[in-house]
């Protein structure tokens, strides 16, 4: 996987996209709703009547006769110029009054009825009266002319700060609760919807993780997949089919090559047996045996890969005796003594007898090749379904022990052999649920231990 791959969480991305879209749609809905109400006259855009009262409060004074008057302040001049429908009524407790503009009759007739009230808002019911009738604001304030009562309509332009505040407050009051509710629903619902929509993808991913290279015909399920992902799964299945076809061709080639090698190797062995005894004959027989072993290993690769037969009970003591009998002449000709040691007369495991014989054969042949052509090669079958093959050679360095089971790995560059034997032993051990390990031999050589699961006891 590339270190610079740009990965992201689709569930989170979808959630944020949906919340952003919903917020934009909700804001547009609020704007359209307010505009529609204003156009129909149901909702009048409020203007700041307190702004008018503040200007009048700063301009009020007394004339020489003690009556109320307005000083020509700049704010009052601007108010009169910008507000064509301006009206107001100013009264004090002594009965002096001052008015300007077309005062609606319903408010002009109030008179001193509200003298005991410090402030009030006067208006109309929205759906029972004409919503276009102007409401009024009454407030008692202190001025240079003393305390007075000011009544005015909701006139005068609202200040920019108050306009922004009022608009924000309206949006928060109307839109924010809905937005929060939709956001909460989105963050809860979106992962659930995406999880259900991607259930098929998760299933396909689990199937992909379980694919084993030994199993042919593995395919990913295309059920319950989104249409956008189905082509990817189909492409992966096509790739798996191509890999199966290529592997099958490779396996057929290996099997055919191994079968073809058997005949010339058998002819070579027959001709070598007719040679007079001597060191050269021994070496040639060893080389021919290695060729035969390589051919058998190539065939074993195909056999074990296709092996699906149920295991049976196998006597490891009998397996060790057969291998010792078959390889004793080769071991003796190479300068070794071959010893078989068993802890009991019968030790059983569940497995494939031919495969286990091949594994033990590879271990003994490995000891013959690398044991230094001296001492004794010992095959020991233990109680706990273990088989040890020990030589008295130079041993295997500890830093090399983890790699000698890799295919085609050799301890020395000039080492003879294909490097498949120990890898085959490890694969056979795994096939049987066991393992193979390397230990130090009691006399300095190497000890290969094949450990297998004991067969269950049968009374």
**Burial per residue of 93-111, b for 16 or more beta-carbon CB atoms within 10 angstroms, e otherwise:** eeebebeebebeeebeeee
pLDDT tens per residue across span 115-144: 788 888 887 665 555 656 677 888 999 999
pLDDT score, position 435 = 94
Q: Could you give the CA distance from residue 408 to residue 252 in angstroms, rounded to a whole number?
A: 20
CA angle 269, 271, 275 (to 5 degrees): 110
- 385 pLDDT above the threshold of 80: yes
Q: Could you give the CA distance from residue 216 to residue 239 in angstroms, rounded to a whole number?
A: 13
272-288 average pLDDT score = 81
pLDDT score, position 437 = 92
pLDDT tens per residue across span 24-66: 777 777 677 666 655 654 444 455 678 888 899 999 999 888 8
Q: Could you give the CA distance from residue 34 to residue 32 in angstroms, rounded to a whole number?
A: 6
Confidence of residue 1 (pLDDT cuts 50, 70, 90): very low
Query: Cβ distance 51 to 159 under 8 Å?
Result: yes
DSSP notation for 107-123: HHT-GGGGTT-SEEEE-
pLDDT tens per residue across span 407-418: 766 665 545 555
Rg (CA), the chain: 50
Q: Could you give the CA distance from residue 92 to residue 61 in angstroms, rounded to a whole number?
A: 12
Domains of the chain: 10-42+163-197 (no CATH), 49-157 (3.30.450), 207-306 (1.10.287), 311-459 (3.30.565.10)
pLDDT score, position 42 = 46
pLDDT score, position 313 = 92
Query: Cβ distance 151 to 117 under 8 Å?
Result: no
pLDDT tens per residue across span 71-122: 999 999 988 888 878 889 998 888 888 988 888 887 877 777 777 888 888 8
| φ and ψ at residue 117, rounded to 5 degrees | -110, 135
- 393 pLDDT above the threshold of 90: no
pLDDT score, position 414 = 43
Pairing of strands 97-100, 88-91: antiparallel
CA angle 34, 37, 40 (to 5 degrees): 150
Query: Cβ distance 140 to 148 under 8 Å?
Result: yes
pLDDT score, position 156 = 47
Position of tokens 């919807």? 193
87: Cβ–Cβ under 8 A, 6 or more apart, which residues? 99, 100, 101, 102, 103, 104, 152, 153, 155
Confidence of residue 17 (pLDDT cuts 50, 70, 90): confident
The top-scoring range by mean pLDDT among 8-12, 297-301, 337-341 is 337-341
- 314 pLDDT above the threshold of 90: yes
């Amino acid at each position: 996987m590339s270190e610079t791959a740009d990965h992201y969480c689709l569930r989170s991305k979808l959630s944020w996209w949906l919340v952003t879209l919903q917020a934009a749609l909700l804001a547009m809905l609020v704007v359209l709703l307010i505009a529609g109400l204003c156009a129909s006259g149901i909702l009048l855009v409020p203007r700041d009547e307190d702004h008018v009262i503040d200007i009048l409060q700063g301009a009020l004074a007394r004339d020489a006769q003690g009556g109320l008057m307005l000083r020509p302040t700049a704010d009052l001049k601007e108010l009169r110029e910008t507000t064509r429908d301006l009206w107001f009524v100013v009264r004090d407790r002594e009965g002096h009054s001052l008015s300007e503009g077309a005062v609606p009759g319903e408010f002009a007739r109030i008179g001193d009825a509200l003298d005991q009230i410090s402030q009030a808002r006067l208006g109309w019911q929205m759906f029972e009266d004409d919503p276009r009738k102007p409401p009024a604001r009454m407030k008692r304030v202190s001025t240079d002319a003393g305390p007075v009562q000011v009544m005015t309509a909701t006139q005068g332009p609202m200040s920019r700060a108050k306009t922004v505040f009022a608009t924000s407050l309206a949006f928060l009051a109307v839109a924010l609760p809905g937005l929060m509710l939709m956001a909460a629903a989105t963050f809860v619902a979106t992962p659930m919807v995406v999880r259900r929509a991607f259930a098929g993808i998760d299933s396909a991913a689990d199937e992909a993780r379980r694919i084993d290279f030994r199993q042919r015909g593995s395919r990913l399920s295309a059920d319950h997949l989104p249409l956008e992902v189905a082509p990817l799964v189909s492409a992966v299945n096509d790739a798996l089919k191509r890999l199966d076809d290529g592997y099958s061709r490779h396996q057929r080639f290996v099997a055919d090559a191994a079968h073809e090698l058997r005949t010339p190797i058998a002819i070579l062995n027959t001709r070598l047996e007719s040679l007079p005894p001597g060191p050269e004959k021994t070496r040639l027989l060893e080389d021919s045996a290695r060729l035969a072993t390589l051919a058998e290993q190539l065939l074993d690769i195909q056999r074990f890969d296709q092996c699906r037969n149920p295991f049976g009970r196998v006597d490891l003591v009998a397996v060790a005796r057969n291998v010792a009998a078959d390889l004793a002449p080769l071991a003796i000709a190479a300068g070794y003594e071959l010893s078989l040691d068993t802890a009991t007369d019968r030790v059983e495991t569940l497995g494939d007898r031919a495969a286990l014989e091949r594994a033990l054969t590879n271990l003994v042949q490995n000891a013959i090749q690398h044991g230094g052509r001296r001492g004794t090669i010992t095959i020991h079958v233990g109680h706990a379904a273990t088989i040890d093959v020990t030589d008295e050679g130079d041993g295997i360095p500890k830093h090399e022990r983890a790699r000698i089971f890799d295919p085609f790995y050799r301890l020395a560059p000039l080492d003879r052999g294909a490097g498949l034997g120990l890898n085959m032993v490890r694969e056979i051990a795994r096939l049987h649920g066991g393992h193979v390990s390397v230990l130090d031999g009691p006399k300095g050589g190497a000890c290969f231990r094949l450990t297998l699961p004991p067969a269950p006891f049968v009374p």
